[in-house]
Amino acid sequence: MKKFECFHPVSAGFFFLSMLLITVFSSFPLIQIFSLAGGIAFDITLRKGRGVLRDLLFDALFFAAVAISNPLFVHNGATPLFFMNGNPVTLEAVVYGVFISVMVVGVLFWCKCYNEIMTEDKFLYLF
């Protein structure tokens, strides 16, 4: 990825800004999944195994925590799976929790890639 580091800071900043905006504001699940996969692949190629496995483990735990906690607090949906303390845990809340997790972890990976590419000098040049 040495070629990507040689890009002008404006084009690299525009790339990362567009990837973050697409990841956050896209409501189509397939786009979010592709964005997450692209962020993971780009992070692996940038860092070449330096702590990637440790980060993947942390992100998997974070993914699970967000996906599990959403149905516990959000009870909207038409398909109850089971009741916990008198509150329904619905299928829609579980699916929405998984896609929120995909979005948040995808943003985390794109921010890690941004941190590797955009140095302090490039950031100062932008602003």
**Which helix (H) or strand (E) segment is 119 a member of?**
none
Q: Which of 3-12, 22-31, 84-93, 114-123 has the highest mean pLDDT?
A: 22-31
Query: What share of the chain in percent tops pLDDT 90?
Result: 49
Enclosing H/E stretch for 17: helix 9-25
Q: What is the mean pLDDT of the chain?
A: 89
The model's pLDDT over 45-78, given as tens digits with 9 standing for 90+, comes to 888 876 788 888 899 999 999 999 988 888 887 8
Selection from 42, 16, 32 nearest residue 100 by Cα: 32
Cα separation values, 125 from 12, 50, 67, 70, 115, Å = 12, 28, 38, 40, 15
Quote the pLDDT of residue 52.
81
Q: What is the mean pLDDT of residues 36-43?
A: 93
CA distance 19 to 28: 14
Counting Cα atoms < 13 Å in the Cβ hemisphere of 115 gives 9
Give the whole-angstrom CA distance, residue 84 versus residue 29.
27
The answer on pLDDT for 1 being more than 60 is no
* Per-residue confidence band for 88, with pLDDT thresholds at 50, 70 and 90: confident
pTM of the model: 0.87
Helix, strand, or coil (residue 7)? coil
Instruction: Identify the helix (H) or strand (E) that includes residue 40.
Output: helix 29-47
